[in-house]
Amino acid sequence: MSVFSHVEFDQHEQVVYGHDAKSGLKAIIAIHNTRLGPALGGCRMYPYADDEQALRDVLRLSRGMTYKSALANLPLGGGKAVIIGDPRKDKSEALFQAMGDFVNSLGGRYITAADSGTGVAEMQTMAERTRHVGGAVSREGFDGRVSTGDPSPATAYGVFIGVQVAVQHRLGRNDLKGLKVAIQGLGQVGFDLARQLKQAGAELWVHDIQEVNVRRAVEQLGAFAVGEQDIYGLDVDVFAPCAMGGIINLQSLEALRAPVIAGAANNQLADAQLAEELQRRGVLYAPDYAINAGGIIDIGYERSGGSTAQLKAHIESIGDTLRLIFQRADREGRTTTSIADSLAHERLAAG
């Protein structure tokens, strides 16, 4: 297995393998680019079938973080870590202490945070061994409430701002009263987004594979529950994917009727070419890595120590970035994803 000739290599600065026999840790840290600052990116734990699958994932994700931070105007680079293991069976204190040592060995070039399969508890364990970890301490959040370190509320707020900008751009509406929104996934981000949309007067249609999450939205927010496949074809204004990636594909595209797609999920487009198809159909797509940057901004501020007012304003600047993307896409006749990529490149080069 070669790294330098790997299809996802894309000029990574550093790729390091970490092993600890005692705890069973097998992990990879990839640092894609540190031009704008130390590489920040989550630590994912997943039962990868083999090392090659883990390498592919870490390279792809770490490159994405370079773009996400650049687009969010953060003084941070892009990196990511993966632990090969099943988060339901293989977690232990020793494993995350060893991971903390591994992160520490890079001397701050890479800063870790929670990702799929890890959470605040694992960040706290790693923080026993390294200070290069985000989201491990409680502090005042962007909204003045105490934050546990979980960046999801900041992500949800950024998506909420993004929905408003997208709706204004595509539908010419200045408020969300009566706006019809379909939300796929009511987890940490999806439910909080639903709550804010409801508060702003929107009507909600929701689906989650966990019945308990659907029930909560129905009971607390008056949302309408719909089936797994029905969520795509609803006659709504906005489709907000907040579950998993790859859900905009040839099949779902045929069903989709919403003129706006704006949600938190990473890698929403199953294939990059689908952006052109969305554009052809007049669907305004808010690029995922632009709209879901609230969490990374939150962790960036935890490290830089900026005030909560500055943090809130920075999350709200996601709206300005999206407005710029939408306007440029119209002017240049290009897709929103291609403009977002160009903008990230420009900010990276200027840095």
46 SS3 class: strand
242 binds ligand NAD (CB under 6 A): yes
> Number of residues in contact with ligand NAD, rule: CB under 6 A?
24
Beta bridge partners of 260: 238, 284
Distant-in-sequence, close-in-space partners of 284: CB < 8 Å, separation ≥ 6: 166, 169, 170, 259, 260, 261, 262, 326, 336
Least Å from the CB of residue 80 to ligand NAD: 12
Binding-site member from 25, 83, 163, 243 for ligand NAD (CB under 6 A): 243
Least Å from the CB of residue 211 to ligand NAD: 10
Q: Between residues 185 and 319, which has the closer beta carbon with respect to ligand NAD?
A: 185
**Tokens representing residue 149 in the block:** 């370190």
CA distance 284 to 151: 26
Binding-site member from 127, 167, 264, 340 for ligand NAD (CB under 6 A): 264
- The catalytic site residues sit at 80
Q: Between residues 43 and 243, which has the closer beta carbon with respect to ligand NAD?
A: 243
Binding-site member from 33, 147, 152, 321 for ligand NAD (CB under 6 A): 152
122 binds ligand NAD (CB under 6 A): no
Binding-site member from 265, 291, 315, 343 for ligand NAD (CB under 6 A): 265
CA distance 332 to 301: 34
Q: Between residues 33 and 292, which has the closer beta carbon with respect to ligand NAD?
A: 292
Q: Between residues 99 and 265, which has the closer beta carbon with respect to ligand NAD?
A: 265
295 binds ligand NAD (CB under 6 A): yes
Q: Between residues 18 and 185, which has the closer beta carbon with respect to ligand NAD?
A: 185
221 binds ligand NAD (CB under 6 A): no
Q: Smallest Cα–Cα separation from 226: which of 239, 207, 210?
A: 207
CA distance 60 to 132: 22
Distant-in-sequence, close-in-space partners of 83: CB < 8 Å, separation ≥ 6: 25, 26, 27, 43, 44, 45, 46, 95, 99, 117, 118
36 to 55, 66, 80, 212, 344: CA distances (angstroms): 24, 9, 16, 42, 12
209 binds ligand NAD (CB under 6 A): yes
Q: For residue 91, which amino acid is it?
A: K
Instruction: List interacting residues with ligand NAD (CB under 6 A).
Output: 151-152, 155, 184-190, 207-210, 213, 228, 242-244, 264-266, 292, 295
